[in-house]
Amino acid sequence: MRYVFLTVDVHQQQNSVAAYNSNNGYLQRIRIVSDDESRQSGDQNECSKCEDLQQQMQGLQARLQEMERLAHHDVLTGLPNRRYFIKSLENRVARCLRYGDNSALLFLDVNNLKKINDNHGHGAGDLALSHLGQLLSTHVRQSDFVARIGGDEFGILLDNLDGDEVERKISILLDRISKSEIQYQETALSLRVAIGYCFVGPRDTVTELLSRADAAMYAKKDAGT
């Protein structure tokens, strides 16, 4: 396409010139962009690029936060998972060694989860676990720590309680769980659990603590309490 430029009509059409298009024989007007307009347009493009980049960064940050949450929380119950629980237990051991802080480790196992799954399906079992997680979170202090550490196992860390206080807390939890019903479709489900515990010592390892609490829980389960 070829243009032959003619006169500039600055009064009638500002910032434009008349040009003859030799290809089609028509007179066409071509807009001329000033330096100020060019700079303004460039600034607007840069601002748009900055806004796009900021939105992308915010999106990435949100995804990273969600990935971090999923790495430390159980998807079904929303509670901290085993990895997070182990870190919190390690922290209790360190505080016990340094400051003499007192903490108890509770192990809770759902005795009849398999029966619920077999009789009513895994949807019922998932609902029961989610319900139990909420119930446990509701009946401990804000400073305590509740996690789902296995398929039907939950761990609880109680701070600054003596033996009698821990026993009372376990009795309360057992009472609340036994009286709680879960409505699944047209069936009312109930849970039976066993809870064992041990105290955190300054020289304990996480493996030793988990083993002791697990053994205490199975002792309660075998005793039917």
As annotated, the active-site residues are 152
User: What angle, rounded to 10 degrees, do the helices at 122-138 and 163-179 form?
Assistant: 140
Count Cβ atoms below 10 Å from residue 46 Cβ, excluding itself: 10
Residue 219, CA distances (Å) to 175, 196, 225 in order: 19, 8, 9
Measured CA to CA, the distance from residue 203 to residue 58 in angstroms comes to 44
Measured CA to CA, the distance from residue 146 to residue 131 in angstroms comes to 13
Q: Which helix (H) or strand (E) holds 144?
A: none
- 3-state secondary structure (DSSP) of residue 190: strand
Closest C-alpha among 133, 128, 142, 114 to residue 190: 128
